Amino acid sequence: MNVTKLNEAIGLLKTNLGESLLSTTIAMNIDGQSIAGFNSSPKFAALIVKIVKVVNDTVKISGIPQIGKYATFDLQDDQLLVILPLGEYIWGILLDGTKTQMGLLLNIEIPAAIDAFAEAIA
């Protein structure tokens, strides 16, 4: 893993999302340890790992497909949580929903973040 490129991926997301980005972290799927982030905390890293595990375990039992490229959660206080399961890693992005353009987020920023992440771990 290229940590410099990983930090560049975080920086690109920060630049592109501007004021709408409240916090972001990339964590290890196995233990919730953050390996890169912006305005993040260990609790946030652990939380995103737990969310993916609970959702995937629950839908697996019911026969519904597991989370794909990303999952979005509309939270209270006009906040959005986007979670990108990336194999051994999980990338969590917390946004101010009043400042987020969903079309740009879903069609441009998330794919760009996934591509930047893939380049960093190649």
pLDDT reported for residue 89: 95
Tens of pLDDT, residues 10-52: 999 999 999 999 999 999 999 999 999 999 999 999 999 999 9
Q: In this structure, how many other beta carbons lie within 10 angstroms of the beta carbon of residue 94?
A: 22
The pLDDT tens digits for 71-118 are 999 999 999 999 999 999 999 999 999 999 999 999 999 999 999 999
Residue listed under structure tokens 């697996």: 60
Measured between alpha carbons, how far is residue 72 from residues 8, 43, 54, 85 in Å? 23, 19, 15, 12
Residue 77, C-beta contacts closer than 8 angstroms, at least 6 positions apart:
none
Neighbouring residues of 71: CB distance < 8 A, sequence distance ≥ 6 = 51, 52, 55, 82, 83, 85
- Walk me through the domains of the chain, giving residue ranges and CATH numbers: 3-121 (3.30.450.30)
